[in-house]
Structure 1
Amino acid sequence: MKEPPAAGALLADQSVLLTPGGEYQSRKPGFVINYMALWSYGWTGEKPSPPSALPFG
């Protein structure tokens, strides 16, 4: 795993089920529906380039 930069903050978002229902009716409260975490985020000033290959093949 890559070490985080010396300066910056961990940015995270998490969706947690509070009340079962709908497509999550069989899950218990506290079930993690979705999560995302980033080590850093910012503007580089560089022009983005597309990936050389699709991520799923």
Structure 2
Amino acid sequence: MRVNGIRRLLVVNTLVGLSGILSIDDLLAFLAQQMAGLARISSGQQVHEKHLRK
């Protein structure tokens, strides 16, 4: 995608009809949300482990 400058992909259903368009920006926003969730889990686990060590 980067080499050819493609920023959007068509999403088709099983009948080969257009279901939507996925953009790089959509994908990056989704990944950012997922990473933020993982960061919250990780920081919560660190707090939990500190309490267990006391």
Taking structure 2 as the reference length, what is the TM-score of the superposition? 0.25
Q: Which has the higher helix share?
A: 2
Q: Which structure ranks higher in relative contact order (CA pairs < 8 Å, sequence separation ≥ 6)?
A: 1
Taking structure 1 as the reference length, what is the TM-score of the superposition? 0.24
